[in-house]
Amino acid sequence: MKLIDKSTILEVFEDIRQKGEWDINRELLYGYFFLDENRQKLKTVGDNLKKNGYTFVDIFKAESEENEKAEMYYLHIEKVEIHSVDSLFERNIEFYKVAEKFGINSYDGFDIGDV
């Protein structure tokens, strides 16, 4: 599993700044994604994270690769937050640990949107 490093997060932040769509220094909607073949395990993670102020969005089927044997699903959670490169990096590390703790295939990353 390839971890999301600080340079990747910095590139995302710089891209948002250059496009001028949003002020990256204010509250934005951060979406986070976990990937596994077991929907129930994903639901358990989502329920657990709801206790920490995250909003459960959906569990949906991932587009499958031809060589994949099992169907995979994404858990999508979100939270309105303010992040710096460092704080989002730390959040990602936290979610890699959540995936490991619950036996989830992977924490698959984040997206950023306007509130």
Predicted confidence (pLDDT) per residue in 27-77, tens digit: 999 999 999 999 999 999 999 999 999 999 999 999 876 655 679 999 999
Is residue 7 domain-resident? no
Question: pTM for the full model?
Answer: 0.92
Instruction: For residue 78, give the CATH number of its domain.
Output: 3.30.70.970
**Which residues span the domain enclosing 97?**
28-113
Q: Supply the mean pLDDT for the chain.
A: 93
Q: Which residue type is seen at 108?
A: D
Is residue 75 domain-resident? yes
Return the percentage of the chain with pLDDT > 90, whole number.
87
21 pLDDT band (50/70/90 cuts)? confident
Is residue 22 domain-resident? no
Q: Which of 15, 19, 16, 14 is nearest to 28 (CA)?
A: 16
Is 59:42 a contact under the CB 8 Å cutoff?
yes
Predicted local confidence at residue 67, as pLDDT: 59
Is residue 44 domain-resident? yes
Number of folded domains that form the chain:
1
